[in-house]
């Protein structure tokens, strides 16, 4: 792998008979597919280049969560009030260096975007899953997938569940159904998809405007002139050199979430014409200890026996804080009244002990520290209170019935997985920007290689990438077509 930037191809070298189109889209994941479809529906001639032999990318590998709100049909059907204003307040609160204009548009248009996604040819189930899980266990259409009910966010915005899951059971491949439908709609709209064909370089004229791409298909190479180029080629989690340079934590003892082509080429194409890159050092890292939900009533402590995070946090928020503990060691402590082993444990069960003192000694926690932490927690838990970390009362229960068990949340012991969150700086309509804010004419970005809803691993909500990738992909497609 490499961090090198692809060389630019001068437009002056294009042959007189070079192939031309209106819009070139690079990458057929959720963002690229939505961009291509909207551009074609706006009247543009669209060519979509996909390096793989089929569509889907990393999008198709995911469970199928779309983070949508503001009063969607599923929210209404399940009795959950929500508004664009409350969704906006929440996303502003959890975003790193938020761009209010983008978040405002994303929230204001969320119901319309929900309807657009369903219009591809399916319906989210009008049902709600109330438990604490990574993804709905069956085909429930809605659940909480972020930190909406976690302190301090629940005091900054009225909590509402916004994790809309496509009606496919399981935690992998749910989005494949959406990609199948998206591919059908693209065909109907006249998008020309070229598989096993990857963009290799951008073509620019003397003014710096992007006017096309160079491409490669096996040993065949060629050039394609275009009025607009949309880069939707995924993140960089599969490029060890880019990971080492930007998010080294992802290269240590982690299972990376991505497909072969998440090698950062899209980001490097943007950088080759001066795109500013944002949040490149932000990884998403997680090892959920739930479900079952009852484990959330336990306490999470570091190697010194001290709590450091509210246990009802979204799983990547908990993991983010584990990464910042001494030696990245942490344990989930649960008493016998609340212990229930996960069917597929990512955080292994260590052992059970008759006394807290034995548990301290076995885990290497300084004598008395864990006992003190448990005593303090239990004293307030009997009143459903957690003055130290403000865990939601739904999950506050005393852990005072021995014996006690511990699960290992330590990096290298728990199965942590992750992906990258950084990408190109863009306008609301996906135009790629340089560091001075000026746009690179003719170039757009969307999906995992663009920086739009700028959440961190500590504040991410499941479904954000599919929802914002598809939403901002649509905007990029429409704007690109208008050129």
> Within the chain, what is the greatest distance between any pair of CA atoms?
82
Q: Which helix (H) or strand (E) holds 187?
A: helix 175-189
Fold agreement (9-61+173-284+417-482, 288-408): no
Q: What is the pLDDT along the chain (483 residues), one digit of tens a residue?
A: 889 999 999 999 999 999 999 999 999 999 999 999 999 999 999 999 999 999 999 888 888 999 999 999 999 999 999 999 999 999 999 988 899 999 999 999 999 999 999 999 999 999 999 999 998 989 999 999 999 999 999 999 999 999 999 999 877 777 999 999 999 999 999 999 999 999 999 999 999 999 999 999 999 999 999 999 999 999 988 888 998 999 888 877 777 778 888 999 999 999 999 999 999 988 888 999 999 999 999 999 999 999 999 999 999 999 999 999 999 999 999 999 999 998 888 999 999 999 999 999 999 999 999 999 999 999 999 999 999 999 999 999 999 999 999 999 999 999 998 888 899 999 999 999 999 999 999 999 999 999 998 667 677 889 999 999 999 999 999 999 998
Whether this model's pTM surpasses 0.85: yes
Give the right CATH number for 9-61+173-284+417-482 from 3.30.70.240, 2.60.40.10, 3.50.50.60, 3.30.360.30.
3.50.50.60
Query: Which CATH architecture is the domain 288-408 placed in?
Result: Alpha-Beta Complex (3.90)
Angle between helices 464-482 and 110-118 (to 10 degrees): 90
| DSSP classification of residue 471 | H
The residue ranges of every structural domain in the chain are 9-61+173-284+417-482, 65-165, 288-408
| Closest to 159 in 3D by CA, of 61, 65, 90 | 90
Size of the chain, expressed as the number of residues it contains = 483
Are 333 and 374 spatial neighbours (Cβ–Cβ below 8 Å)? yes
Per-residue exposure over 299-326, b if at least 16 CB sit within 10 Å of its own CB, e if not: bbbbbebbbebbbbbbbbbbbbbbbebe
């Amino acid at each position: 792998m490499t961090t090198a930037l692809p060389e630019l191809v001068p437009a002056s070298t294009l042959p007189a008979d070079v192939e031309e189109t209106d819009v070139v889209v690079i990458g057929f994941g959720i963002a690229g597919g939505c961009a291509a479809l909207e551009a074609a529906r706006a009247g543009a001639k669209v060519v979509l280049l996909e390096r793989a032999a089929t569509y889907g990318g990393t999008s198709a590998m995911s469970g199928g969560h779309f983070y949508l709100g503001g009063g969607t049909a599923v929210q209404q059907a399940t009795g959950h009030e929500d508004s664009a204003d409350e969704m906006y307040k929440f996303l502003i609160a959890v975003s790193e260096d938020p761009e209010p204009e983008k978040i405002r548009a994303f929230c204001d248009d969320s119901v319309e975007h929900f309807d657009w996604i369903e219009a591809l040819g399916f319906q989210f189930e009008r049902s709600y899953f109330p438990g604490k899980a990574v993804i709905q266990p069956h085909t429930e259409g809605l659940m909480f997938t972020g930190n909406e009910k976690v302190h301090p966010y629940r005091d900054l915005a009225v909590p509402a569940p916004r994790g809309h899951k496509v009606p496919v059971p399981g935690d992998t491949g749910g989005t494949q159904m959406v990609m199948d439908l998206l591919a059908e709609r693209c065909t109907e709209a006249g998008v020309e998809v070229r598989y096993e064909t990857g963009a290799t370089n951008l073509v620019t004229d003397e003014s710096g405007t992007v006017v096309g791409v160079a491409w490669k298909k096996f040993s065949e190479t060629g050039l394609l002139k275009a009025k607009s180029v949309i880069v939707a080629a995924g993140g960089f989690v599969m490029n060890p050199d880019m990971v080492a340079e930007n998010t080294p934590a992802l290269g240590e003892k982690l299972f990376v979430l991505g497909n072969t082509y998440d090698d950062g080429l899209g980001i490097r194409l943007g950088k080759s014409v001066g795109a500013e890159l944002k949040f490149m050092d932000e990884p998403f890292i997680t090892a959920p200890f739930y479900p079952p939900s009852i484990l959330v009533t336990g306490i999470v402590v570091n190697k010194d026996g001290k709590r450091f995070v509210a246990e009802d946090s979204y799983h990547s928020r908990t993991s983010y804080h584990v990464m910042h503990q001494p030696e990245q060691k942490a344990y989930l402590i649960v008493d016998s009244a609340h212990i229930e082993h996960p069917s597929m444990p990512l955080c292994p069960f260590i052992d059970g002990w008759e006394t807290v003192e034995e548990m301290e000694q076995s885990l290497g926690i300084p004598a008395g520290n864990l006992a003190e932490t448990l005593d303090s927690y239990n004293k307030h838990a009997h009143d459903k209170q957690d003055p130290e970390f403000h865990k939601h009362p739904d999950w506050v229960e005393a852990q005072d019935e021995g014996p006690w068990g511990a699960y290992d949340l330590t990096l290298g012991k728990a199965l942590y997985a992750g992906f990258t969150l950084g990408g190109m700086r863009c306008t609301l309509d996906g135009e790629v920007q340089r560091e001075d804010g000026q746009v690179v004419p003719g170039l757009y970005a969307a999906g995992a290689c663009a920086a739009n809803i700028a959440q961190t691993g500590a504040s991410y909500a499941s479904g954000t990438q599919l929802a914002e990738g598809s939403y901002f992909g649509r905007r990029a497609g429409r704007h690109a077509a208008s050129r």
